[in-house]
Amino acid sequence: NKALKIYEDAGDLYRAAGEYHQLGVVAQLQRRFEEAISWYTRALSIFRQAKDEYKAGFPLRQLAQLFQTLGPAPFKTTWQTATGAPCPAELLQALAEMENLKDSET
């Protein structure tokens, strides 16, 4: 990805985060879930550091989709494999709440 390399070389991690998110979407569509989580967490971290909660919502929504697709236990295992750390409890709670909201809308 040329754009990503340009952003990283220039030290523009905020713009790189948008590319990380898109790479996560591609990985998710290809069912490479560990890779998708890795990209989403990178994007989420950068957007949160920039205090851009609007943009942070994009990788969060994708993580919620993965949570729904995989189910809680497989999601936690995939997260652990992708990041090398357990999924934070507050994130799991938020993802579960997002899933409950989606279920109540249908």
Which range marks the domain in which residue 72 is found? Answer: 2-105
Average pLDDT over residues 17-46: 97
Q: Is the pLDDT of residue 76 over 90?
A: yes
d(CA 43, CA 87): 16
Number of domains in the chain: 1
Predicted structure pTM score: 0.88
Q: Give the model's pLDDT for residue 97.
A: 87
Q: What interhelical angle do 13-29 and 33-49 show, nearest 10? A: 160
d(CA 12, CA 72): 34
- Token pair recorded at residue 42: 């990178």
Q: What digits encode the pLDDT tens for the residues 17-31?
A: 999 999 999 999 999
Q: What digits encode the pLDDT tens for the residues 47-61?
A: 999 999 999 999 999
- By the 8 A CB rule, do 78 and 34 touch? yes
* Longest pairwise C-alpha distance within the chain: 45
Q: Is the pLDDT of residue 99 over 80?
A: no
